[in-house]
């Protein structure tokens, strides 16, 4: 397996750039390399995820199919923060089904979808405590959201989490409203 260094840019992505990989969150492209695997030359993005201390190699040809994307722009970040200030929308379905939907939104890599999970699972001090699985999903969602906000705004993750929590608390009087989502679905049909 031979490794050779390649240029610093491919398909609009360049070394040193932060990206979002849906299954793992925010990572940084450390290099673009070419490896020979089973007699075939394969060009790879080498992506480092600091939070997980993990390096991932993604074939440049596969970036679209895996959903790798550039960081969100300021307008998307603003919309995500507006989303967390909104009213929680909790469907009246079994928890296992909702948990699957939340997990899918978190792993979609879409900042707005992730902010919806944060909004829906947030509990203020005056609200009933979350179950273990709700807390796990909430933590995963706020972590993903904060990592992207931190990279976009060039602040620490702690500052990004504080920003998200401040926006969540700005509408702490809200209560989950199960009918909201049902009305939206009927309107869309």
Domain that holds residue 161: 74-182
Same domain, residue pair 60 and 104: no
Give the containing element (helix H, strand E) for 69.
strand 69-70
Same domain, residue pair 27 and 94: no
Same domain, residue pair 13 and 48: yes
Q: Which of 17, 42, 70 is the last residue of a domain?
A: 70
pLDDT at 127: 82
Q: What is the pTM of this model?
A: 0.82
Rounded to whole angstroms, what are the CA distances from 136 to 25, 42, 49, 97, 117?
16, 37, 20, 16, 12
Tell me whether residue 98 is in a domain. yes
Same domain, residue pair 52 and 93: no
Tell me whether residue 153 is in a domain. yes
- Residues with pLDDT less than 50, the chain: 174-189
pLDDT at 115: 97
pLDDT at 182: 43
Same domain, residue pair 97 and 43: no
Same domain, residue pair 16 and 55: yes
Tell me whether residue 10 is in a domain. yes
Three-state SS at 31: strand
pLDDT at 9: 64
């Amino acid at each position: 397996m031979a490794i050779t260094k390649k240029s610093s840019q491919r398909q609009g992505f360049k070394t040193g750039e932060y990206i979002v990989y849906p299954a793992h969150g925010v990572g940084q492209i450390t290099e673009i390399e070419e490896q020979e695997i089973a007699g075939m030359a394969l060009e790879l993005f080498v992506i480092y995820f600091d939070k997980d201390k993990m390096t991932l190699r993604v074939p440049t040809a596969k970036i679209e199919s895996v959903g790798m994307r550039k960081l969100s722009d300021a307008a998307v970040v603003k919309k995500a923060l507006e989303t967390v200030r909104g009213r929680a929308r909790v469907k009246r379905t079994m928890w296992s089904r909702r948990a699957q939907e939340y997990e899918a939104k978190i792993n979609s890599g879409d900042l707005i979808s992730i902010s919806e999970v944060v909004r829906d699972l947030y509990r203020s001090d005056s609200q009933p405590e979350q179950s273990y699985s709700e807390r796990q999903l909430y933590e995963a969602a706020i972590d993903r959201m904060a990592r992207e906000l931190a990279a976009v705004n060039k602040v620490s993750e702690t500052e990004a989490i504080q920003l998200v929590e401040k926006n969540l608390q700005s509408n702490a009087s809200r209560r989950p409203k199960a009918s909201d989502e049902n009305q939206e679905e009927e309107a869309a049909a």
